[in-house]
Each structure stands twice: as structure tokens, then as C-alpha cells.
């Protein structure tokens, strides 16, 4: 006795929607055959190109934000000031091809690289600021280069130091004493510069307010090599000892006693230090830094040189192979299988290796697809994870509002009378409550007392509880029209319970209208969440949503200079909401029989 309007299986629906009809032209019998309303709706939907485009765009976004984070996970605790506000690029290690087979010295900076060939010519690549693009004008032949955060140093064959790039904090003021001494090593660090002379003396200049590197006077004249991170420097002496150049005691100060007098090479990450001894063993001390203390067993007794980045080490072995370990967020901690390597250089998140023929091999951070934000976080991974949060909040809110709206609207439309009066007045009261002010007040009052998960749950529940009145009124109207039809009277005469009549007989006949409303409400809930996060009352940092990613761009400097920080989240949010609305509008037109005549 039920008026059934659904004549296709789920498989038929999917095939019809995505694969289309089996033939472009129908026979006379097929043309005259009565089709189910669902099949007719799908046909009308498919024939509307804007609706199909919106469906495909939303499906692509949905799959991207829910599947791609598996392959591009976001580290919620990650921050790195050396990578902040980096524009989209993939050229961090795209070295000049002229260097292949002719490289003498190579080094990586924060987001760029620099090298020199056998002819003494300097090459640069990566993301370079305007000042970094101005190479030294000297005609001297260069033999060594070193790249820092945003400045570089070069050493020529006469032992003279040259610098370019950032010239703040006296970085461009090379000490006059160096003009009378022959320099054998230069080191560009984090807003500091260092030079080691042939006589074993270290000179330091640059931003001494940020980092202080005191050099013991009694050790001057004995140094053979120097390395540095963003807080201190270390050096080796002719006695094969390690000296920590720091004004205070740190974990770096606790040098293993058994290595003093036996050190042949050293390296430092941000939290640890490593040394290679004359018996080719590697020692690591200092803080626990992304597993760097777990030295690969196979390199012990074989290591001859070591280099370090922000949180990883790379060791050169006596058989010409290399091994990397430690922080591996960009692949810098996994070295490829190489042979005949004679030199290595690691810095920040990049690695360079040179074989006996001068060929260069690289691994690590190549660049950022969508750039980085003010904390050095990859916008691409945050966009994917943030999209998943935004879509989840919108979907859960729609489910909550859908359940409430369908139940209350069905009861109100079927029973009428006092029940209808009570439920509709309740809907009007709820509809009068503004969502954004209420959510902002609750966030300010209890937001700091609950966890971030609780805050997200609160947003979803509030959205759902305040979004059902319009759906309830829509369902009520549809039920009011359907309850007077013959199939409902027949169901009552057969003694079917009223609950079954409402939800098994009437509701399936009006569900298409409900689906259209829920689809459009989904986009609206996403915009509400994004608006709340944009105003600073939604999901907080370091968790990501499209709304709070845009909130971090609420600054004229960011809008003008760091366009990628707001363009990509804005495009993602706009595409998602517009595609949902396009699909919803197409569905609304598809279920309207009169739309075929327009």
C-alpha cells in the first residue's frame, strides 16, 4: 500500500550518475517506458553541466583532504623560524648544472644553495632575496662557499673573505684584521659570520645580540675547524680536541671524555653534537633530538667525516657510501644508496654529496608546494588537514540538524494541531538565536577550560542545534501535503502504526527535497565554522582549519608580501562551498519536473 518512488538500486544510481546511459539514443519502447522519479532526477542532474562540475570538484576536494594526509601527515608541534614565510618553490636543491663534474665547494642555506666550480665561479639557486642575488664583484678565483640563513660567505684563493646577502647587524662588516691574515675556512651561520685563519684564530662578527660566540683567548691559534647552529659554535683543535664556544653551560658542554685527543671531524644539530674519532667511530652527545642518539651500528668503525642539519646527521664512510639518520620530516634523514662519494655537506634540511667524478647527489627538502606560514609550517599539509577538520565539522553539524529537523518536522506536519503549534514556536525561538554571537560568547566563557577536541565538539553541536528550524519547516510542509494522499489513507486502514506511516511511507517520498536542503546547509555550516575560526573564536592554533589559516593572514603586510598564505586557503574554501552549492542547486532543479520545460 506504500507509494514507492524509488525504483533503482544503489548500483544503478551510481552507474547512471558516473557512467551515464549505455546509449546516446533510446528506442521508441525505451522512450515510452515509465521511469522511476529517482532515475528521472539523476538524468536531469546529469544533464546540468554546472551540477556535475560542482559534484566532481567537491569529490576531488573530499578525497584529497581525507586521503592525502595519510601520505602528507602534519606534525602539530612543528615550528621552524628558519623556514618562515617561504614562497612556493621546488628549487632549494636545484643546483646549476655547470657544477656537475666541476664542483669544488657546495653548501645549503635555509631555502637556497650556493656552490663554486673549478674555475672559481660562484653559482646560486633556490629562493633568493634581492640582496642575495648580488654576487661578489671580485675577479678573484673562489675556492670555498658557505650559506647561512639569508647571507653567504665566500673565500678566494688568496685567503680573502667576501660576503653578500643580508647586511643587517654588521654582517657585511668584515673585520679589518682579516685583511692581514690568510683565511682557510668561512662559516655563514644564523645572522653571524665566522672565519678561521691559517694561524688557527677564529674571528666572529654579526648579530651578537641574538647569538654570542666567545672564543677563549688561550685557545686562539690552535683551531682547525669550526661548526655552528643557531645558539652556539664548536671547534676542533690541533690536539684533536673539541671546544664549545658558548657563554653558558649547555648539554653540548658535556663532551665524552674518551673522544678528547682523538677527534677528526665534528658537526652540530640544534640540540646535539657529534664527533668522528681517529678509530672511525661516531659519538653523539647533548639533547635527544629526533633520534640522533640512535647511531646506525653499521657505520661504527667506518666513518671518516660527518655533517649535520637542523636535526639530522650524515656520515661519509671509508667505502665511499653515506648514511643519514635523525629527523626525517622531509626525507633528509634517509640517504640514497651512493658509491664513490668523497665529500658531503648537510645543512638545514638539505644534503649534498659529491663523488670522485665531481657529480652531485641531493636528498632532503626540495621546496614547498604552497609555501610556509609565519612559523615555517608547510601550508600544503596544513591545508589538507585543515580541510578535513572543516569538512568534518560541517558534516557532523548537518547530521545533527538533519536528525532533529526531520524528526520534529515530521511530527509537526503529520499530527498538526497543538503538536504543530508547539514545535513550530520552538523552531522560531531557536531560529531567533544568532549563531556567531552565541558561539563567540561560549568560546570566551568556557573555551579556555576545555580541550581543543572539546572546543571542536562544542562548535559542531552548537551548529547542529541551531541549524534545524529551516529544515523542520520544510519537512513539515512536505508532510502536510503528503499525509492527505490515498496511500496514507490505505496504510491507516490496514492498521499500520503512525510512526511507520511517517518514516517508512511518507518520508521516503519527500526525502529528495530534504537532501537538497541538507546539501546547501553543509556549505553554510562550513562557512560558519570558517567565520568563527577567522574571528579567533573557533579552532585554535596549532590545529588547522581553513578559517584559522585565513585568520593568520589578517594583516596588510601578509596580504601584500606573502600572498600564498591567504590565496590557497581562500581558493580551497571558495571552491568547496561553491561546488557544494552548484551540486545542491542542480539537485533542486533535477527534482522539479517543471525544470525540464525551462
One DSSP character per residue, 560-598 reads HH-THHHHHHHHHHHHHHHHHHHHHHHHHHHT-GGGGG-
List, for the chain, all residue ranges whose pLDDT scores fall below the cut of 70. 1-38, 447-448, 534-537, 592-598
Dihedral over alpha carbons 149, 303, 252, 309 (to 10 degrees): 20
Are 53 and 585 in contact by the 8 Å Cβ rule? The answer is no
CA dist 235 and 58 (Å) reads: 56
Please give the Cα distance from 493 to 487 (Å, whole number): 10
Alpha-carbon distance 506 to 413, whole Å?
Answer: 11
CB neighbour burial string for 571-591, b if at least 16 within 10 angstroms, e if fewer: ebbeebbebbbbbbbbbbbbb
Q: Which residues pair with 368 in a beta bridge?
A: 89
**Residue-wise pLDDT tens digits, 401-430:** 889 998 998 888 888 888 889 998 998 888
What is the rounded CA–CA span in Å between residue 453 and residue 40? 43
Distance (Å, whole) CA 425 – CA 439: 23
Phi, psi dihedrals of residue 467, rounded to the nearest 5°: -105, 0
Pure H helices in 358-416:
379-415
pTM for this model (two decimals)? 0.82
Q: How far is CA 136 from CA 110, 171, 178, 440, 485, in A?
A: 20, 14, 17, 55, 88
Contact 175, 214 (CB under 8 A): no
pLDDT at 303: 96
Q: What is the pLDDT, as a whole number, of residue 370?
A: 94
- Cβ-in-10-Å burial (0-12, 13-18, 19+) of 87 comes to middle
Task: Give the separation between CA 186 and CA 163, rounded to whole angstroms.
Answer: 10
Q: Which of 578, 576, 552 is nearest to 564 (CA)?
A: 552
DSSP code, position 113 = E
Residue 328 buriedness (CB in 10 A; 0-12 / 13-18 / 19+): middle
Cell readout for 117 is: 666550480
β-strand partners of 155: 144, 161
Query: At which residue does the C-alpha cell 518520508 appear?
Result: 507
Cα separation, 255 vs 493, in Å, equals: 92
The string of pLDDT tens digits covering residues 429-488 is 888 888 777 777 777 777 667 777 777 787 888 888 888 888 888 888 888 888 878 887
Average pLDDT, the chain: 86
How many other C-beta atoms are found inside a 10 Å radius of the C-beta of residue 451?
A: 8
Phi, psi at residue 26, to the nearest 5°? -105, 150
DSSP 289-342: -TTTTS--GGGTTTEEEEEE-SSEEEEEETTS-EEEEE--TTSTTS-----SEE
Predicted local confidence at residue 26, as pLDDT: 53
Half-sphere exposure in the Cβ direction for 38 (13 Å, CA): 19
Which domains does the chain carry? 10-16+36-78+380-597 (1.10.3720.10), 88-364 (2.130.10.30)
136-153 exposure pattern, b = at least 16 Cβ within 10 A, e = fewer: beeeeebbbbbbbbbbbb
User: Which position has the grid cell 612559523?
Assistant: 375
Give the 3-state secondary structure of residue 10: helix
Residue 246 and residue 85: Cα distance in Å, rounded?
30
For residues 151 and 155, give the distance between their C-alpha atoms in angstroms, rounded to a whole number.
14
**pLDDT attached to residue 22:** 47
Amino acid at each position: 500500500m506504500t507509494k514507492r518512488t524509488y525504483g533503482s538500486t544503489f548500483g544503478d544510481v551510481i552507474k547512471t550518475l558516473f557512467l551515464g546511459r549505455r546509449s546516446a539514443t533510446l528506442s521508441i519502447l525505451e522512450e515510452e517506458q515509465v521511469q522511476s522519479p529517482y532515475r528521472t532526477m539523476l538524468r536531469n542532474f546529469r544533464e546540468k553541466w554546472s551540477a556535475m562540475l560542482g559534484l566532481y570538484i567537491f569529490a576531488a576536494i573530499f578525497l584529497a583532504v581525507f586521503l592525502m594526509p595519510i601520505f602528507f601527515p602534519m606534525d602539530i608541534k612543528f615550528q621552524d623560524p628558519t623556514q618562515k614565510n617561504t614562497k612556493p618553490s621546488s628549487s632549494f636543491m636545484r643546483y646549476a648544472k655547470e657544477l656537475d663534474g666541476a664542483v669544488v665547494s657546495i653548501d645549503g642555506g635555509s631555502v637556497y644553495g650556493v656552490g663554486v666550480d673549478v674555475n672559481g665561479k660562484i653559482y646560486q639557486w633556490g629562493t633568493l632575496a634581492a640582496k642575495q642575488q648580488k654576487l661578489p664583484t671580485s675577479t678573484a678565483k673562489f675556492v670555498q662557499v658557505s650559506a647561512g640563513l639569508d647571507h653567504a660567505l665566500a673565500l678566494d684563493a688568496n685567503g680573502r673573505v667576501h660576503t653578500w646577502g643580508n647586511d643587517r647587524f654588521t654582517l657585511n662588516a668584515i673585520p679589518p684584521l682579516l685583511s692581514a691574515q690568510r683565511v682557510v675556512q668561512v662559516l655563514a651561520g644564523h645572522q653571524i659570520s665566522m672565519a678561521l685563519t691559517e694561524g688557527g684564530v677564529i674571528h666572529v662578527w654579526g648579530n651578537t645580540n641574538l647569538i654570542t660566540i666567545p672564543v677563549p683567548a688561550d685557545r686562539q691559534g690552535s683551531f682547525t675547524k669550526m661548526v655552528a647552529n643557531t645558539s652556539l659554535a664548536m671547534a676542533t683543535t690541533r690536539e684533536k680536541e673539541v671546544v664549545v664556544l658558548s657563554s653558558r653551560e649547555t648539554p653540548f658542554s658535556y663532551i665524552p671524555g674518551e673522544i678528547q685527543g682523538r677527534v677528526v671531524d665534528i658537526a652540530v644539530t640544534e640540540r646535539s653534537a657529534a664527533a668522528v674519532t681517529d678509530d672511525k667511530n661516531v659519538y653523539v652527545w647533548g639533547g635527544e633530538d629526533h633520534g640522533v642518539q640512535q647511531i646506525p651500528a653499521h657505520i661504527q668503525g667506518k666513518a671518516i667525516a660527518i655533517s649535520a642539519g637542523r636535526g639530522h646527521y650524515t656520515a661519509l664512510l671509508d667505502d665511499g657510501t653515506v648514511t643519514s639518520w635523525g629527523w626525517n620530516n622531509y626525507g633528509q634523514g634517509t640517504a640514497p644508496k651512493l658509491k664513490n662519494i668523497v665529500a658531503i655537506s648537510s645543512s638545514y634540511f638539505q644534503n649534498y654529496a659529491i663523488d670522485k667524478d665531481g657529480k652531485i647527489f641531493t636528498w632532503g627538502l626540495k621546496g614547498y608546494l604552497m609555501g610556509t606560514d609565519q612559523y615555517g609550517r608547510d601550508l600544503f599539509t596544513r591545508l589538507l588537514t585543515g580541510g578535513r577538520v572543516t569538512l568534518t565539522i560541517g558534516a557532523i553539524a548537518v547530521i545533527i540538524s538533519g536528525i532533529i529537523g526531520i524528526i520534529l518536522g515530521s511530527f509537526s506536519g503529520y499530527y498538526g494541531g497543538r503538536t504543530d503549534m508547539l514545535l513550530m514556536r520552538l523552531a522560531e525561538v531557536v531560529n531567533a538565536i544568532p549563531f556567531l554571537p552565541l558561539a563567540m560568547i561560549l568560546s570566551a566563557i568556557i573555551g579556555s577550560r576545555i580541550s581543543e577536541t572539546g572546543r571542536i565538539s562544542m562548535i559542531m553541536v552548537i551548529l547542529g542545534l541551531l541549524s534545524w528550524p529551516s529544515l523542520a519547516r520544510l519537512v513539515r510542509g512536505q508532510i502536510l501535503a503528503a499525509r492527505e494522499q490515498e496511500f496514507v489513507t490505505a496504510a491507516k486502514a490496514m492498521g499500520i502504526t503512525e510512526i511507520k506511516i511517517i518514516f517508512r511511507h511518507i518520508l521516503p517520498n519527500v526525502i529528495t527535497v530534504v537532501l537538497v536542503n541538507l546539501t546547501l546547509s553543509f556549505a553554510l555550516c562550513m562557512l560558519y565554522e570558517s567565520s568563527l575560526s577567522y574571528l579567533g573564536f573557533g579552532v585554535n592554533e596549532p590545529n588547522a582549519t581553513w578559517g584559522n589559516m585565513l585568520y593568520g593572514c589578517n594583516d596588510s603586510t601578509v596580504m601584500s608580501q606573502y600572498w600564498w598564505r591567504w590565496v590557497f586557503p581562500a581558493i580551497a574554501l571558495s571552491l568547496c562551498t561553491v561546488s557544494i552549492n552548484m551540486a545542491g542547486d542542480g539537485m533542486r532543479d533535477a527534482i522539479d519536473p517543471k525544470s525540464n520545460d525551462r
